Amino acid sequence: MQGNRACALAALHAGMRFFAGYPITPSSEIADFLAAELPRCGGSFIQMEDEIASMGAVIGASLAGVKAMTATSGPGFSLKQELIGYAALCEIPCVIVNVQRGGPSTGLPTSPAQADVMQSKWGSHGDYPMVVLCPSSVAETYELTINAFNLSEMLRTPVVLLSDEIVGHLYEKITLPGEPDIVLTERKLPGPCPAGKYHPYDTDSMSDVPVIPNVGTGFHCHITGLIHDGAGFPTRDPAEVTSLLERLHSKIESRKRSICLVERREVDDARVVLCSFGASVRSCFQVVREGRSQGLEIGGINLKTVWPFPDFVFKELPANVETVLVCEMNRGQLKGEVERVSCGRYRVVGLNKCSGTMITPQEIESALEGLL
């Protein structure tokens, strides 16, 4: 199965029944598949006039109670940013797939890159948190797409699936789970409440995630892009402003260890650890396999979650680790995060490539020569 098709199929299996998007390389296979399959599942597919309209339609569908998704690549992801920030503030569940390509601007439409890491967290203005998942294989694409919907519904927040051209167009054999084996999370909805007593954004000691009703189900619910109080209406009260923004962050940061998915290989006794995400993981793990067979003390880390950044992984590396080699198809976006949390305990070195071609095992092996 192709990576993009696995993403689309997983979205259907996760219960997604609304897709709005605009064709853009290298994500178009997702829209193509869903245009045919969503109507057969009782869902709706809409090709919108542009990317910001697509994001607006997804937000509207989600507010009405439908699991919703859009898919794009770099230039389209840029256009969606204003409404991604809106969804984060208004706590609207949705999934945004970004199959990365070379940039900036129109860049390299059919070539791979991993340069949208920082944009996926900081792309919209203001202070808001993001959950961003990165698959490195077709199987992970399927797994993480379902996980993206579950996290989005549980936390009432937009979640980004940050794929890339290699993984999106890759064909691999995968084993699909049976329907009973797919665990899904559904958003909580309010029960009966006396008229005028319901505040959609109120939270309590039991949960820091609000229970917001679906539009049209009999509740008065005000949705605004302005900073709002518990009733959903605009406020400038400093205490309420601070409380809202702190809660948006804490509902994700407090669950960091369960949100962050990390795969470790041969790290416990390694002197050098190769760290990567997405397609670059494939080359890293090949080098780890071959190096171990030759007696090299190397290990590998696959970051399936890049935001929130799994800083605990790097703070808890064994004392024998001397160097972390961060491999990424950009100018070093993730390397800076690893340096920040390393606290000088080990060297952090970057292997960076932004030529529109994949990082090869041979290039990693060359970089290792001066580190072991």
CATH topology of domain 3-181: Rossmann fold (3.40.50)
CATH class of segment(s) 263-368: alpha beta
pLDDT at 139: 98
Non-local CB neighbours of 28 within 8 Å, separated by 6+ positions: 4
Residue 190 three-state SS? coil
pLDDT tens for the chain, 372 residues long, are 999 999 999 999 999 999 999 999 999 999 999 999 999 999 999 999 999 999 999 999 999 999 999 999 999 999 999 999 999 999 999 999 999 999 999 999 999 999 999 999 999 999 999 999 999 999 999 999 999 999 999 999 999 999 999 999 999 999 999 988 999 999 999 988 766 678 999 998 889 999 999 999 988 889 999 999 999 999 999 999 999 999 999 999 999 999 999 999 999 999 999 999 999 999 999 999 999 999 999 999 999 999 999 999 999 999 999 999 999 999 999 999 999 999 999 999 999 999 999 999 999 999 999 898
Q: Do domains 3-181 and 263-368 have the same CATH topology?
A: yes
Tokens of 58: 């997804």
Q: Check: CB of residue 272 under 8 Å from CB of residue 325.
A: yes
Tell me whether the omega of the peptide bond preceding residue 308 falls within 30 degrees of 0, making it cis: yes
Residue type, 119: Q
Distance of CA 281 to the CA centre of its chain: 16
Pairwise CA distance, residues 113 & 91, whole Å: 30
Bridge partners of 302? 263, 276
Q: Check: CB of residue 44 under 8 Å from CB of residue 38.
A: yes
Q: How is the beta sheet containing 347-352 ordered, strand by strand?
A: 262-265, 298-303, 272-276, 323-328, 347-352
pLDDT at 286: 98
Pairwise CA distance, residues 274 & 358, whole Å: 16
Burial of residue 223 (number of CB atoms within 10 Å: 0-12, 13-18, 19+): middle
What is the chain's length? 372
Tokens of 114: 């991993």
pLDDT at 194: 66
Tokens of 30: 């997702």
Pairwise CA distance, residues 280 & 303, whole Å: 11
Helices 3-13 and 138-155: crossing angle in degrees, nearest 10, is 40
Tokens of 54: 């697509």
- Which residue do the tokens 């950009």 mark? 330
| Domain-wise residue ranges, the chain | 3-181, 263-368
Q: Check: CB of residue 105 under 8 Å from CB of residue 77.
A: no
| DSSP secondary structure, 217-263, as one string | SS------SS-B-TTS-B---HHHHHHHHHHHHHHHHTTHHHH--EE
Residue type, 191: G
- Which residue do the tokens 């890339």 mark? 164
Tokens of 355: 């030529």
